[in-house]
Amino acid sequence: MADTEVAVQAANKWKRKRGSLIMALHEIQEVKGYVPWEDAAVLAEGMGVPLARIYEVLTFYNFFKLEAPGKAVVSVCTGTACYLKGNDKIIGEFEKELGIKEGDTDAEGNFHLQSVRCVGCCGLAPVTVINGKTYGRITIADVKGIVDEWKQNVAEMKE
Ligand code: FES
């Protein structure tokens, strides 16, 4: 899934419905855990809404988060297809490997672990997305390797 695909889908779904900007923003946040700036820009274009209006909405409602809650945002899909393929156990394994609970960020601000609703690639269930990179058909045995890969990535990110 392209990085801003969820924003493209939300724009297509909501653009003809009045007063639906908040619903579209909700959809992005439910999938990503926050509303990245590039998604807001895609939504603005797709819905024909000025970016300034989207910014107003995002800052007015403190429910919306504009910043990534960690350098690496680990989003484990708990939509129906992924749930049926055992993603609840995958979350448990990420909790163990990262040493944090679902919904939390580690003390260094490096990792945030969250469950999200369907990210739109159910054929690859069970799915986890980290900073836009999709991992499909993952097993419990894969989790440690994925975490190690991202520990390396996070170490290479600039402050
Ligand atoms: S339910 Fe997980 S990608 Fe659709």
* 72-121 pLDDT, tens digit each: 999 999 999 999 999 999 999 999 999 999 999 999 999 999 998 888 88
Whole-number average pLDDT of the chain: 91
| Same-domain pairing of 100 and 31 | no
CB 80 less than 6 A from any atom of ligand 1: yes
Burial tier of 151 (Cβ tally within 10 Å: 0-12, 13-18, 19+): middle
For residue 158, pLDDT over 80 is answered with no
Co-location of 49 and 79 in the same domain: no
Domain that holds residue 99: 72-156
Confidence category of residue 1, pLDDT binned at 50, 70, 90 = very low
Q: Are residues 112 and 147 in the same domain?
A: yes
In this structure, how many other beta carbons lie within 10 angstroms of the beta carbon of residue 49? Answer: 18
The whole-number pLDDT of residue 159 equals 64
- Using a 6 Å cutoff on CB, does residue 59 contact ligand 1? no
pLDDT confidence of residue 118: 87
* CB-based contact 35:58 (threshold 8 Å): yes
Residues 130 and 78 occupy one common structural domain: yes
Ligand 1 centroid vs 34 CA: distance in angstroms? 18
Same domain membership, residue 113 and residue 80: yes
CB of 116 shorter than 6 A to ligand 1: no
